[in-house]
Every structure is written in structure tokens, then in C-alpha cells.
Amino acid sequence: MEIGGAAVGETAKSIIGHLEREIGYLVHFRRNVDNLKHKFQQLTAEKGVVEQRIRAATDNGEVIRETVNKWLSDVDAVQTYVTQLSDEAGQISSCFRGWFCSRFRLGRKAYKKIPGIQDLLDRRNTFGDTVSDPKPIQSLERVSAYDYEDFASRKSLTKKIINGLVNDNICLVGVFGMPGIGKTKLMEALSKQVKQKNLFDEVVMVTISQNPDVKTIQNNVGKQLDMQLQDNEDMFVRAMHLHDRLKTQDKKILIVLDDLWNELKLEEVGIPRKSECKSYKIVITTRFEQVCSQMKTDLDLNVPVLSTPDSWALFRENVGDVVDTPELEKIARRVVDECAGLPLAIVTLGRALRKKAVVNVWADTLRRLQKSINEDLGRVYSSIKLSYDFLSNEVQKRCFLFCSLFPEDYEINVKEELLVYVVGENLLEDGEDCFNSLEETKGRLDSIVEDLISSSLLLRSRNGRHIMMHDVVRDVAKMIAYRDEEFKQKADAVQTDLMKWPEHLENCKRLSLMRTKIKCNLPGQVEAQQLLSLFLNSCKGFIELPCDFFVKMKKLKNLDLSDTEIVSLPSSISCLVELVTLRLRLCSSLKNICPIERLEKLEILDLCESGIERLPEEMGKLTNLKSLNLSDMKDLESISPKVISSMCQLEELYAGRFKGWEIGGNANLSYSNFISEVASLAKLTCLEIRMPNVECFSTNTSINW
């Protein structure tokens, strides 16, 4: 009896519990629906953040992760469900018929759906800020200095390299040749062939350059092997990870190390020694035969100049049918002879002379080539200089020369870097073109960049998202810019140690020290009265600038201190009354920005990922700002009232992920106040804001754009 009674008691409890839940669906109908809506609002806000990141990643040509796409699809399905349920719930209040049944049914559905939404929020946290992966680097797709042809000399050389790579006794092949001979292009063609013939499963291609950084090389190799190397790890630990991966992986890999200037210690990078070389082979390219000796290569091959027939075929392909007339063909063949079989010279000159049918133009070109230095390198320089001379206007020339301020093999971001700098110096306006917005300026710059790429004076990067300069072309551009009194610039961006501050800057208009390790004392004052642009971005070795550093730079238009370790701005920055652009992105140690309120001509201010803690009231004086980047300022706690709304010329605003927003309840950085001020900006055309939830948007806010 006691056992039976206990069983009955448990059954009764179970029934009562079930009834309580069922009645709860009816009684707490409204609370369940409201809880569902609140949870769904959180999900909608996260969806907005993810979609924003997807748009940015797509613009950069990146590949969206499948887990992210699946998450979005599941969110869309939930959205349909919640919308339908909310509509039905709204109808209950206006219709008594079926009231009890509907409340019970919808209350139950709402209650049971909340865990599913929470699961989606949890899944959102698993991928965090990373919604995409870089598009696999397609070294074969790189737009190079010329269109590769199956010339006899190249075909023969490629065959020799492949024969070496399939030889079990050969691990390291050295390819050497003069600048502009086509070594990189040859490697791209080689990469394509070895994969087509299934000789290798993967090709890893890394540009080394004149002053190599081992960590950068490791990153580039690791990325192409789908490895995540930690930046905070010691260089030797990273090398060990690469070493282990290459020794143990199953795929056959070809590693191409392009453009070596000196011996590279492979063990420092993490590429095992030749004795351990089983599933991979290495090819290096260099200008200097002695580098092959230093690297102890197993096979050395020289890249020869093109034969006369091949040179003419390459030139004809680039110059077009304008040379088909007997009169011009005779001069054109002599022009090609002056290029001495160097592909870079042939292509740049061919594209410069395309559609030019006047005999005198060709005769003058021949004369100028014949006057150039009687050396192979001099011929390359002369052909590039002529291509520069043939550019259709001064604006194109200025943009071309400006690109030489970036370091060797640097991948230039047109929108975030080049556009900012050309706006700063107003390089695109020539008396005829006048731009009313940043968008118009960007459109013009994009057109100029395309023209320079068509002229082979610029290249697209391997991923296709950025632009680059061939190192020989960059040398010519630097030479032209240094000698040009109107342009006068000095690019010491050598990615190495700076032991002495540059001298004789009195007439210099542009100074670039990008990526330099400064190991000298900075001058108290820099005698640079004519300086228009100063680039110290990614410089290491200093945490502050001398107090009077900028006193004698009153004409400065562009200042870039991004990715430096500075902890404060010198008071003399207030002397830069002509400054148009200021980039302080990635300055994580910089907490205060107070000295800049006097920079009333400032149009572009980039504080992305800086350590700034507050935007003071004085920043409201920057009424000429057109672009303001406040993205990922995780230390920002306060924005003074009316600062944003005072920037009435603002066209672009990027903001979000502020510390004050994340902790909530910060009266100095409230969502609603920020949005209200943003809504008053009548000229805004580009707005990107990352917010933790949709509740920050007020339905009462009046939008002026």
C-alpha cells in the first residue's frame, strides 16, 4: 500500500506540474511573447553586425565562412516564425473569439522558441568578429608587368626548372637575372604548369625584397599553408611550427621565394634544410648570381633576354597595329632593339606608344632611348621614364610619383591610404576638375589607377584588392620625384634601421619613413618648411615626438602616425594649421587627442583602433571634417555633447565597439544621443555603426539624409 501510495503521489505531482506549465502558457502569454520579442531583438542586432562585417569582407574579396552563411539562414527562418507569431499575438487583443485557445497556443510556442534563439546567439559568439577568410592567394592570377607568352627562351628555361624539381637529388633551385627580365612572371607560369601536371599539390609564393622581415615571411608562408601563427610567439617558436608542418604534411609543396637580395637563413624562417626535403621543393629568384652561391643551391639557371623575334612579338602585342605601316615599323623595330630584350622595358614602352601614329613621336622616342645610359639597366630606366612622359596629364604623373612613397613591394590600399593622401594634397584637381565630395574624388582616383595599370606603371596585388609598384618602376619613380623641383620627395621607407635622421629637408615636399625602425634621436625641430606630407606609419623605436617637432612644418597637409607606439601628441601639432588629413589608427597607447582642436582645416581624421579615451568638447571645432573613423575604439568612454553634430560637413562616419557602449549605462556615451547627433548630419553619404542592440535607435529621431 505504501509503495502504491508513493507511486500515486509521484504521478499526481507530475500531472500537477504538467498542468501548471500548461496553465502558465495561458496566464503568462503576454510575458512569453514579450520575452521572445526581446530575445529576437538581440538576435536581430547581432544579425546586423554580422551582415555589416560580411559586406566589408565581400568588398575586400574575402570568402564568407559556411558556418556564418548557415547561421544567417537559420536566423532568417526564425525571423519568419517570430514575425508570424507576433502578428497573431497582436490580433488576439482585437478579437475575443478563440481567445483562450489562441493565448495558450501562442504562449506555448513563444516559450518553446526562446531556447532556440538563445542557441543562435550562442552560435554567434563562436565565430565572434571573424566571418570570413582571405581569398586563397592565386599567384597565377596576378596581373604582372606583361602578358606571358610561350617564347622559346622561356619555354626552354621552364622545362629546365621542372626537370630539376622532379630530380630527387635537387631540392633548391636558383633562378637569377637582371631587373625587368621577367623572373616573377616566369615563376607564375611555372606555378601554373607544375599544378596542371600534378607535380605539386600546392604552390607557396612569397616575395622577399631587399630588407626581409622573418616574421612577415613566416606569416605569408603560414597563411598559404592554412596555418595560424601567433604574432606574440617568439620567431623561433613560429619557425618550429612551420618546420613541423612542412616535415609531416602529406601534400607535395613548391615554395617560391621571389626577389632575394641577400642570403636568407631558411632555418630561421622554419623551412627545413635540404637533407629533410622530401615532400617539398624550393625555388629562389634573385638579381645576383652570388646569392645562389650563398644559398647553396643545387641548380642555378640564368634568365636570358628575349630574342629579337620574341621581343618584337611582345612589343607588337602591346603597341597594337599602329606599327603595321612600313614607315612606322622600321622605326619601331629600332625602338625595340634599344630595349635590349628586357620584357619590362618592351611592355611599358609598347603600352606608352599605343595608338601613337605620328612618325616624329617615334623618332623622338628613338633618339631619347639612344641617349640613355649604355647599360641594360639604363635601358629599362629610360623606357619607364618615357612611359611616364607619355602619360596623358599631370594628375596621372603626380599620382604615379606619389605611389613611390610606399615601401618596396607594399600593397597599397587605394581607398584607405592613397585616397586619403591625394585628398590631403589636393593632387587630383587641375583647374578643370573640381570635386564636390569624397565619393567623386574616389571615382576619379579609381580611373587614374586603372590608367596607370594599363600603362604597366602599376600592378594589381596577387589578391587583386590592392595595387603595387614593380621595384624597378619604383626606383625610376623615386628618381624622377627627387629631381622634380615641383614634386621634390624623399622616400626612405626601407623597412630597416634608421641610424640618422634625414638631412637637407629644407626644400623637400614629401618624406616617407614607413616601416622604419628609428634608432636615432629625433630632432627637436625638423627644418622642413616646404614639407606637405610626412609618413611615419608603422615606424618603431619612439614613444613620443619632441615638443617642438612640428614647429617648422607649417605647410604640412598629410600626417600619418598610424601603428606607432606614441603615447601622446606634441603640443607643436597645433602649429599644423594647414593639415588636411591625420591618421592615428592602431595607436593603441595614445589616450589623449586634445592638441588637435586647432586643426580647423582637417578633412580626414582616422582614429580606428586607437587608445583614445574621450573626444573632448574642443573637437567640435573641426567643422570641416569630411571623414571620421571611430571604429573599434574599445577604450573610448566619452564623447562630449554636440561634438558629432558640429561636424556639419561630414560625409563618412565609421563608429562602434566603444567601451562605454559595451558596459552600458554610460551617460557620456549613450546610444540615443549619438544617433540623434548623427541624424542631424545632412551631408552624410556613408555610415557604418556597430551597436550591441537595436534599442539604441529611437523611433522619434528625425533623419536629415
| Cell numbers placing 441 | 574624388
Mean pLDDT value of segment 581-608: 93
Under a CB-based contact definition with an 8 Å cutoff, are residues 467 and 414 in contact? Answer: yes
Query: Does residue 705 have a pLDDT over 70?
Result: no
Give the pLDDT of residue 119: 84
Q: Residue 275: which pLDDT band, with cuts at 50, 70 and 90?
A: low
* pLDDT at res. 689: 83
| pLDDT for 594 | 83
Distances (CA, A) of 51 to 352, 436, 550: 44, 30, 42
pLDDT in tens, 637-661: 888 899 999 999 999 999 977 766 6
- Give every CB contact of residue 14 below 8 A, 6+ residues apart in sequence: none
Does residue 414 contact residue 445 with C-beta atoms inside 8 Å?
Answer: yes
pLDDT of residue 67: 81
Q: Which residue has the higher pLDDT, 197 or 14?
A: 197
Give the tens place of pLDDT for each residue, 69-81. Answer: 888 888 888 887 8
Q: What gap in Å lies between CA 100 and CA 309, rounded to an integer?
A: 91
Q: Which of 58-67, 85-94, 436-445, 604-613 is predicted least confidently?
A: 85-94
How does residue 696 score in pLDDT terms, banded at 50, 70 and 90?
Answer: low
Q: Which amino acid is at 355?
A: K
- Rounded to whole angstroms, how far apart are CA atoms 275 and 297? 13
**Residue among 497, 477, 498, 471 at smallest CA distance from 408:** 471
- DSSP secondary-structure letter at 143? -
- The DSSP symbol for 656 reads E
Residue found by looking up cell 563608429 in the block: 655
Residue 515 pLDDT > 80: yes
Percent of the chain with pLDDT over 90: 34
Confidence of residue 148 (pLDDT cuts 50, 70, 90): low
> Quick one: which of 570, 575, 581 has its CA closest to 543?
570
Distance CA 45, CA 293 (A): 60
CB neighbourhood size of 19 (10 A): 10
User: 644 is written with which cell numbers?
Assistant: 558629432
Closest by Cα among 574, 562, 555 to 425: 555
Say yes or no to pLDDT of 693 above 60. no
Q: Which stretch of 27-36, 152-161, 452-461, 622-631 has the lowest confidence by average pLDDT?
A: 27-36
The percent of residues in the chain predicted with pLDDT above 70, rounded, is 82
pLDDT category at 163 given cuts 50, 70, 90 is very high
**Banded pLDDT at 226 (limits 50, 70, 90):** confident
Whole-model pTM: value is 0.68
Q: What is the pLDDT of residue 588?
A: 93
Angstrom distances, CA of residue 676 to CA of 42, 182, 403: 21, 57, 40
Arithmetic mean of pLDDT, 383-387? 85
Confidence band of 141 (pLDDT split at 50, 70, 90): very low
Decide if pLDDT at 484 tops 50: yes
On the question of pLDDT at 213 being above 70, the answer is: yes
For residue 500, the model assigns a pLDDT of: 87
